[in-house]
Structure 1
Amino acid sequence: MKVLDLRCSHGHAFEGWFASEDDFLEQNGRSLIACPLCGDHAISRTPSAPRLNLSGAREVVPLPGSHAAAEPAALPAQARVEEVQAAWLRGVRQLIARTEDVGARFPEEARRIHYGEAPNRGIRGHATPEEREALQEEGIETVAIPVPRSLDGPLQ
């Protein structure tokens, strides 16, 4: 199994697991690989460091009186970006798990809930900007959250 560092044309970094380099090239050539954040199919491989098995490594203990490694070093900017992306993706997955998908019926179902005609619950679905504006004028708050196409189906 090969673990490759990948990036979409929008700069989102993620990992892909493939049986071989040829398997990655074949899947990428057929546009079967998509960014988990934006669904982009323009994927490129980025340089990666080999994974090292450091099971025998020991923690470095500073000598008495030294101030070395008192605080962890700041994360590189790319690591922070990847942490934010991963946190956003976890949040979207939680949103999906905790809400009911009503699809194109979203405006109708939001009104039914607002006016007490349907049970109060979290819903998600699709609405045009005009439909969202009409809901807001009725006092119904909505939030537009882009959900990657890769999360529309079963999570893997």
Structure 2
Amino acid sequence: MIRYTLRCDAEHSFESWFQSADAFDSLAAAGHVACPVCGSAEVGKTLMAPAVRPARKGAEAPAEKPLSTPASEIEEAFVALRRQIEENSEYVGMNFVSEARRIHAGEAPERSIHGEAKFEEARRLLEDGVPVAPLPFLPTRKVN
């Protein structure tokens, strides 16, 4: 597998993995590589620096861009959505299904909650008339 940094004709930069250099060339030639931001199929490789580990124990590797830094307007929108949900609802973790049922039945105070549920459990909630929706991100788990 090889990772390429790619750029479309609208100057959007993104990364993708390919089985080999030939695989990228054939997929790009067939128009199967597209920009995730604008959908353009005019995509090419950009100059990449290899990830090299330091030779000495005390030396530090160059800092990579943190994953939490948004790289596009779409990512910024997801970050803002996440922030709004986390600020305006209570995280109930793996108790989401039971807490959603309790709220729906009037056994718990009505409030906005978010948490984790298996697909089948969420489907059953919807079938039972409990209003829930999937979130487009994974929850931030709190650790000690």
Give the structure-2-normalised TM-score.
0.51
Deviation at 1:84, TM superposition (A): 2.1
C-alpha RMSD of matched pairs (Å): 3.6
Which has the bigger relative contact order, CA under 8 A and spacing at least 6? Answer: 1
- The counterpart of 1:35, out of the listed 42, 67, 74, is 67
- Secondary structure of 2:72's counterpart equals helix
Give the direction of change, closer, same or farther, for the CA distance of 1:8–1:108 in structure 2 (3 Å limit): farther
Counterparts of 1:8 and 1:96 in 2: how far apart (Å)?
29
Q: Distance in 1 between matches of 2:14 and 2:141?
A: 21
Does 2:141 align with 1:109?
no
Deviation by residue 1:116-141 (Cα, 9 ceiling, x = unmatched): 00000000110011101110111012
CA offsets 1:75-118 (integer angstroms, 9 cap, x no match) = xxxxxx81122022111111011110100100000000000000
Alignment partner of 1:87 is 2:77? yes
Distance in structure 2 (CA, Å) of the matches to 1:8 and 1:100: 34
> What is the letter of the counterpart of residue 114 of structure 1?
H
Written as runs of structure 1 = structure 2, the 5 A alignment for 1:145-156 is: 145-148=135-138, 151-152=140-141
For the Cα contact (< 8 Å) 1:8–1:35, is it kept in 2? Answer: no
SS of 1:101's partner is strand
Give me the TM-score of the superposition, normalised by structure 1: 0.48
Aligned length: 93
Identity %: 32
Q: Which secondary structure state, in structure 2, belongs to the residue aligned with residue 144 of structure 1?
A: coil
How do residues 14-93 of structure 1 correspond to structure 2 at under 5 angstroms?
Answer: 25=62, 27-28=63-64, 35-36=67-68, 82-93=72-83
**Greater CA deviation, 104-113 or 135-144?**
135-144
Gapped regions of structure 2 (runs ≥ 5):
1-12, 18-34, 37-58
> In structure 1, how many angstroms separate the alpha carbons of the residues matched to 2:138 and 2:124?
25
Whether contact under 8 Å (1:132, 1:142) holds in the other structure is: yes
Residue number in structure 2 paired with 1:128: 118
Within 2, Cα distance between the matches of 1:35 and 1:105?
A: 28
Q: Is the 8 A contact 1:107 1:135 kept in 2?
A: yes
List runs of 5+ in structure 1 lacking aligned partners. Answer: 1-5, 13-21, 38-80
Letter in 2 for 1:111: R
